[in-house]
Structure 1
Amino acid sequence: MSRIGNAPIQIPKGVKIKTEGQTIAVEGPKGSLSFDVPEPISFAVDGEVISFKRPNDQRSVRALHGMSRAMTNNMVVGCSVGFKKTLEIIGVGYRAIVKGKNIDLTLGFSHPVSYPLPEGVTAEVDKDNKLHLMSADKALLGSVAADIRRYRPPEPYKGKGVRYLGERIIRKEGKARGKK
């Protein structure tokens, strides 16, 4: 019994669903996305509801059932409302500047780092040195946030670096504190 795969997806107002074979295309105010549903999984669009069915209870088919429903739900939510990830840039002199389709990061290196934003992702920086990334595609957004964080992950002694909003860093004691 799959709780995720069997849950129907409600289609919000302003979102259009198009199906062709095993492909689901979602179009909304925030963008348009498509997904190819794996072969053993079948789906049906009934008015304002999308439902998914599986032919048997094999382990691999059960996994595809839940994954297909989750991917489709992410597309519907992304095209209607959109997704947002926030990165905190912590450190003296560390900052980010958005210039067109690039993010220029000053992270304590001898040179600035320029990260080109992929198509479908937008960014803005507020006064508190927080970088807000927005996209309709949840997987692409997570990948972009991870790439930016990878330039300078938070270090455990002073906590400087790029971290997700609300991420807890376990701090370590410095070597001077341990001596007696």
Structure 2
Amino acid sequence: MASHIGKLPVAIPAGVEVSIQGQEFSAKGPKGSDSYTIPECINGKVEGSEIILEPVNDERPTRADHGLSRSIIASIVEGVSKGFSKHLMIVGTGYRAAAKGKGLELSLGYSHTITVNPPEGITYELPNANEIIVHGTNKQLVGQAAANIRKLRAPEPYKGKGIKYQDEHILRKAGKAGK
């Protein structure tokens, strides 16, 4: 039994080169390159401008293996063609970020500044002192790098100070005067 998601073909956009040799999938595009090892129970092939994943007859993949492999391959193709980004906002008086080489230097209300260096394949952009944009080709790595920065000073519920995602809504609590 195959996955409904796994059955869907993955479209290959213009400017992206894709190859499947055995169980090794690799993609190269304008933003970079990435690879993935397809599980043994799934065959991958390139037909025209689409990637098709099919279960091997003698071994039945679980729906999760089939759908997950298709989702990872689709993310790799999107990452090497367009890239991924996460937008973080810094809220609070005196809280700010500054570029320091390839990394960031964050002032978050502690007695010291915090230096954050990007993992391999990740870049930071600072439109102003209160915004950080994390860019990269690997969806999981971009999300993890943004989560690591947010974790340094998570938003608090009383005044909303801290680092939050741009589209995140912080539930506010009433203070002592709100009895």
- Both structures adopt the same fold (TM-score exceeding 0.5): yes
- Deviation, 1:146, is 0.5
Mapped contact 2:97–2:129 kept (Cα < 8 A): no
Answer yes or no: is 1:72 the counterpart of 2:73: yes
**Counterparts of 1:146 and 1:83 in 2: how far apart (Å)?**
14
Mapped contact 2:80–2:137 kept (Cα < 8 A): yes
Instruction: Name the structure 2 match of 1:34.
Output: 35
Q: Residues 59 and 13 (structure 1 numbering): CA distance in 2 closer, same or farther, change over 3 Å?
A: same
Answer yes or no: is 1:98 the counterpart of 2:99: yes
Letter in 2 for 1:157: Y
Mapped contact 2:155–2:170 kept (Cα < 8 A): yes
- Deviation, 1:60, is 6.0
Instruction: Name the structure 1 match of 2:117.
Output: 116
Instruction: Name the structure 2 match of 1:63.
Output: 64
**Counterparts of 2:91 and 2:40 in 1: how far apart (Å)?**
46
Question: Structure 2: where are the runs of 5+ without partners?
Answer: none
- Deviation, 1:128, is 6.5
Letter in 2 for 1:50: I
Question: Structure 1: where are the runs of 5+ without partners?
Answer: none
Letter in 1 for 2:122: V
**Counterparts of 1:100 and 1:67 in 2: how far apart (Å)?**
37
Letter in 1 for 2:79: G
Mapped contact 1:25–1:34 kept (Cα < 8 A): yes
Instruction: Name the structure 2 match of 1:127.
Output: 128
Runs of 4+ deviating beyond 6 Å: none
Letter in 1 for 2:121: G
Instruction: Name the structure 2 match of 1:4.
Output: 5
Instruction: Name the structure 1 match of 2:17.
Output: 16
**Counterparts of 1:177 and 1:63 in 2: how far apart (Å)?**
48
**Counterparts of 1:144 and 1:49 in 2: how far apart (Å)?**
31
**Counterparts of 1:174 and 1:124 in 2: how far apart (Å)?**
35
Letter in 2 for 1:67: L
SS of corresponding position for 2:62: helix
